[in-house]
Amino acid sequence: MTIYVTGLGVVSAIGCGVEENLDALRHYRHGLDKVSLFETALDVPVGEVKLDNETLAGMLSLDKGFPYSRTMLLGLLAAREACRDAGITAGMPRTGFISGTSVGGMDRSEIFYESFRNDPEQGDIRLTASHDCADSTLRMARRLGITGFTTTISTACSSAANAILLGARLIRSGRLDTVIVGGTDALCRFTLNGFNSLKILDKELCRPYDNSRAGLNLGEGAGYIVLQNEKALRREPYCCLTGYANTNDAFHQTGSSPEGNGAFRAMSEAVTMAGITPDEVSYVNVHGTGTPLNDLSESRAMLRLFDNHVPPFASVKGYIGHALGGSEGIEAVYSALCVARGILLPNLRFATSIEETALTPVVRYSEGNPIRHVLSNAFGFGGNETSLLFSRP
Amino acid sequence: MSATCYIKRHAAISPGGDAEGKNYLTAAEPDYKSLIDNPGLRRRMSRIIKMGVAAAQMCLKDDIRPEAIVTATGLGCVGDTEKFASQILSLGENLLNPSTFIQSTFNTIGAQIALLHKIEAYNMTYVHRSLSFESALLDSLLLVEEGRHNILVGAIDEMYETPYTIEQRMGLLRNITAGEGAHFFLLDSEPHDACATLLALETGSAPATADCFVETLLQAKGLQAADIDLWLTGENGNTLHDKPFATLDRLVAPTSRRLSYKKICGEYPTAPAAALSMAADEIAGGKARYALIYNHSQEYHSVMLCGSL
Amino acid sequence: MEELVKELKQQLIDELNLEEMTPEDIDTEAPLFGDEGLGLDSIDALEIILILERNYGIKIENPAEGKEIFYSVDTLARYIESHRA
């Protein structure tokens, strides 16, 4: 059964909506800067969406006084764009919604907790109502008018990728005809400090796949795509989702195995599922966080999968940072555009290849390339590895 | 295409219905040392992680290799989350313990099970409030249909003072006893050594009425309400919440048993997993042929149907 | 030095949750990381960095430079002795 990608929606550090994102990508304009949306003592670059909560609520015609989580606001903006793009209307039958998020409404609950910690009777209790991960999903589904199967996945940085994978399986099993899938995460003090405690934040702008890389920059945002079977199709699709796989590295709670075993198996299974051979892959949207370990092990996994002939590849994290649970939502949108318009995206700030693997990513933006298959990777804590394969119809 | 799904094993770490003077029910915890025999991994595990991993270990004894691990949780590792949030405030964003942050991640339990046994297969975590476990179960059914064997699926939630106080203040616990639990199941398409069959799983938002929701499901399975000899329903003591369950009264045959399972495990997001565990026990013990589990939270309803082999 | 070694062992036990271990169980010369010794990992390394900074005011910016310093309780104690503020 063919699964079509028929709608795209994205909000990231480089723009709101597909066109703004594409424009920034085309003009090498990254969105990394100092933290401005919340108080923090940490002086590290991050990829914030340059709109405050009130502005976001206004854009969505929501009550500006209600303490919606930023995760929900970013998600709804992206999901609404994807639904409009695909012509999804409220109450459409056999239509589902699956969202991934790594921290849910932590951006609100951490404000509550500051008062609560001193006195359990204190703190605006409305701020905790959005704490659980399902809150953003359920609010979005309600606003979008989706009444079919709805769920939330949280597998850290691969959350959105896994939402996409589940959506495809639900269509394939005959349970749904249409499903909006992706993920959303807002940057907050909790996550920023978490990654800082792991000492994997670069104090400079991140340099994925460069020999001098020294860590990642966190980001935020949301990305959703619409998956449909042939019966539900209402427009010319961008591409098809032909392969997907989730595996576990089972090596370490946070670090990837040096040889990238889990990554290798995820990519390999996704490619096999599509019935193609690795050499048919035209482009890889790598996970490429910019941490010394991730990029090295992902490089090794690619060298193994492609038998040392690695196709053009790039990490977009130099533009938007690592948007965690939202990252593969955003990057799936980019990957679909790469297939539809033959785009190769540049890997910003690359100068020197990683010594051990000597791979060179794409550094120039170009369109109209003969692209057939784009492989996209998302790897998370707990060794959670997912690869998706987007192909020309 | 729909493969039959058998429950081969199940394990529970759960409360026994007695709050022992506390405001909420807490699970009777086993000796973890014998269940989680890797001290290197165990030493870093918080209480909820130990509960989850230990319940999974009980399902995996005799070297069973699951081909997928699917977990569900409403609030995840809240204790670890609070600990790290508290550190940020007390230590001023400096010198924070990374272990606490790592453990706060929702997929920690699934990941720890994978690490413990080097299980490189599919690993997924659902965090969808009262339908978290049902989502995980649906994924497991898909996996069985897709031809995988020995699917390990489980649900874990913990209760302690902070979430209790917050839920109390939110008005979520009026006349309700909160609870917690860790439940794991091993599912397969093969009936060998199975104790019960998972016949149906249905979720819905705002179905007309609970009784109609159940009747439609039973009809699709060629069953009648009178065939159900055990009803496990999710009343929690709150009048408004319990109202939809009353419509089920007319379906319960006089000879059937009806049990409000939350009296035993308390109310928590993944409580239906406790009910499924009870159903499997009753069926395995020959005390029921068909067991139906009904739950709802706000407008979100779920039904699970189990039968004997 | 002997006091410091004992103190360090206790801190490792507390901070790394080395259940059921006493300072006497930890071999001062044995490797802390890898399969032979205590079997600590990269997260433990980060926790040891915290012990040094919180309790001895010693800062290690780059986890990579910790490799030799963190080899054993002995190397760790020596480093603290020579860098203590």
Domain containing A10 — which CATH number? 3.40.47.10
Mean pLDDT calculated for residue range B221-228: 96
* C46:A254 CB<8 A: no
Whether residue A258 has pLDDT greater than 70: yes
Chain A contact probe: residue of B127, B148, B298, B302 with most A CBs at under 10 A = B127
Q: Nearest 5°: phi and psi at C46? A: -65, -40
- Give the tens place of pLDDT for each residue, A317-346: 999 999 999 999 999 999 999 999 999 999
* A151:B106 CB<8 A: no
For residue B270, give Cα distances in angstroms to A231, A304, B130, B187. Answer: 35, 41, 6, 18
Closest by CA position to A181, among listed A392, A345, A330, A384: A330
At C21, which amino acid appears?
M
Neighbours of chain A (3+ CB pairs under 8 A): B, C
> A-C interface: how many C-beta pairs under 8 angstroms?
11
Q: Which residues between 100 and 159 in chain B have a beta carbon less than 8 angstroms from any beta carbon of chain C? A: 102
**Closest chain C residue to A202, measured at CA:** C62
> What pLDDT band is residue C37 in, cutting at 50, 70 and 90?
confident
At A124, which amino acid appears?
D
Q: Which residues of chain C are within 8 Å of residue A255 when distances are taken between CB atoms?
A: 42
Tell whether A189 lies on the interface with B, counting CB pairs under 8 A. Answer: yes
| pLDDT of amino acid B16 | 87
**Closest chain B residue to C55, measured at CA:** B95
How far is it, in rounded angstroms, from Cα B107 to Cα A381? 8
Cβ pair B74, B270 in contact under 8 A = yes
Across the interface, of B43, B95, B97, the residue whose CB is closest to C19 is: B43
Tell whether A365 lies on the interface with B, counting CB pairs under 8 A. Answer: no
Tell whether B78 lies on the interface with A, counting CB pairs under 8 A. Answer: no
> What pLDDT band is residue C20 in, cutting at 50, 70 and 90?
confident
- Give the tens place of pLDDT for each residue, A93-133: 999 999 999 999 999 999 999 999 999 999 999 999 999 99
Mean pLDDT calculated for residue range C52-61: 90
Domain membership of residue A171 as a residue range:
4-391
How far is it, in rounded angstroms, from Cα C47 to Cα C12? 9
Q: Which residues of chain B are within 8 Å of residue C50 when distances are taken between CB atoms?
A: 95, 97
Measured in angstroms, the CA of B187 and the nearest CA of chain C are apart by: 34
Q: Which residues of chain B are within 8 Å of residue C19 when distances are taken between CB atoms?
A: 39, 42-43
Chain C contact probe: residue of B99, B100, B115 with most C CBs at under 10 A = B99
Residues with Cβ within 8 Å of residue B107, at least 6 apart in sequence: A154, A155, A156, A380, A381, A382, A384, B71, B123, B124, B125
**Closest chain A residue to B169, measured at CA:** A125
| pLDDT of amino acid A101 | 98
**What domains can you pick out in chain B, each with its CATH number?**
5-188 (3.40.47.10), 196-307 (3.40.47.10)
Q: Which residues of chain A are within 8 Å of residue B114 when distances are taken between CB atoms?
A: 248, 250, 382-383
Whether residue C38 has pLDDT greater than 90: no
Q: Which residues of chain B are within 8 Å of residue C17 when distances are taken between CB atoms?
A: 43-44
The two three-digit tokens of residue A36, written as one number: 């401005």
Of A152-156, A272-276, B87-91, C81-85, minimum mean pLDDT range: C81-85
Mean pLDDT calculated for residue range A179-200: 97
How far is it, in rounded angstroms, from Cα A239 to Cα B162? 47
Three-class SS state of B242? helix
Q: In this structure, what is the dihedral angle of CA atoms A140, A141, A146, A152, given to the nearest 10 degrees?
A: 130
Measured in angstroms, the CA of A20 and the nearest CA of chain B are apart by: 32
Across the interface, of C43, C49, C63, the residue whose CB is closest to A254 is: C43
Whether residue B109 has pLDDT greater than 50: yes
How far is it, in rounded angstroms, from Cα A107 to Cα B302? 30
Q: Is C74 left (phi over 0), alpha (psi -120 to 50) or beta?
A: alpha
Measured in angstroms, the CA of B95 and the nearest CA of chain C are apart by: 6
- Give the tens place of pLDDT for each residue, B44-59: 999 999 999 999 999 9
Tell whether C82 lies on the interface with A, counting CB pairs under 8 A. Answer: no
What's the gap between Cα B293 and its chain centre? Answer: 12
pTM: 0.97
Q: How many CA atoms lie within 13 A of A356 on its CB side?
A: 14
**Closest chain C residue to A255, measured at CA:** C42
- Give the tens place of pLDDT for each residue, B231-272: 999 999 999 999 999 999 999 999 999 999 999 999 999 999
Q: Which residues of chain B are within 8 Å of residue A246 when distances are taken between CB atoms?
A: 122-124
What's the gap between Cα B224 and its chain centre? Answer: 26
Three-class SS state of B99? helix
| pLDDT of amino acid C63 | 67
Across the interface, of B119, B132, B166, the residue whose CB is closest to A250 is: B119
Cite the beta strand spans of chain B per DSSP E. 5-13, 68-72, 122-126, 151-157, 181-188, 196-205, 230-233, 257-260, 290-297, 300-307
The two three-digit tokens of residue A391, written as one number: 């192909």
The two three-digit tokens of residue A116, written as one number: 């609560």
Domain count, chain A: 1
Q: Which residues of chain A are within 8 Å of residue C41 when distances are taken between CB atoms?
A: 252
| pLDDT of amino acid C35 | 78
Across the interface, of C19, C47, C54, the residue whose CB is closest to B99 is: C47
ipTM above 0.90, yes or no: yes
**Closest chain A residue to C62, measured at CA:** A199
How far is it, in rounded angstroms, from Cα C15 to Cα C33? 16
Q: Which residues of chain B are within 8 Å of residue A250 when distances are taken between CB atoms?
A: 114-115, 117-120
Tell whether A268 lies on the interface with B, counting CB pairs under 8 A. Answer: no
Name residue A375's beta-bridge partners: A284, A389
| pLDDT of amino acid C85 | 61
> What pLDDT band is residue B1 in, cutting at 50, 70 and 90?
very low
